[in-house]
Amino acid sequence: MASVTPHRKKDYSVLGSFASQRAMGKCVYCNHCQPCLAGLDVGLNNKYYDLARNHYENLAVKAESCVRCGHCDSQCPFHVIQMARMQEIAGYFNC
């Protein structure tokens, strides 16, 4: 049976001296901060949030432009209350 290698704390502090100053404070999803005490995948949580935000910011017209006319609500075959969704989306990205 193979022996288990004891966990040793790794020191990645040297990486900070290679990174450009512009990168400071920005998560690069490297997961060197693992393990998270709550079990979060810190890198992926940040990556998905940043991806969504970047895509959203590139939209020509964003959810906050909704004038609550109700047209989409009346046309949606799946009965989505889209006016409420637009408010939720606008709130989420503008928090």
- Nearer to ligand SF4 (CB atom), residue 3 or residue 74: 74
- Nearer to ligand SF4 (CB atom), residue 53 or residue 68: 68
- Nearer to ligand SF4 (CB atom), residue 2 or residue 61: 61
C-alpha 72/C-alpha 68 separation (Å) is 9
Kindly state the smallest distance separating residue 1's Cβ from ligand SF4, in Å: 33
C-alpha 23/C-alpha 45 separation (Å) is 18
Kindly state the smallest distance separating residue 60's Cβ from ligand SF4, in Å: 14
- Nearer to ligand SF4 (CB atom), residue 36 or residue 57: 36
Binding site for ligand SF4 (CB under 6 A): 27-33, 42-43, 46, 66-72, 82-83, 86
C-alpha 87/C-alpha 93 separation (Å) is 10
Kindly state the smallest distance separating residue 18's Cβ from ligand SF4, in Å: 13
DSSP 3-state percent helix, strand, coil across the chain (nearest 5): 45, 0, 55
Tokens representing 4? 């288990």
C-alpha 70/C-alpha 81 separation (Å) is 9
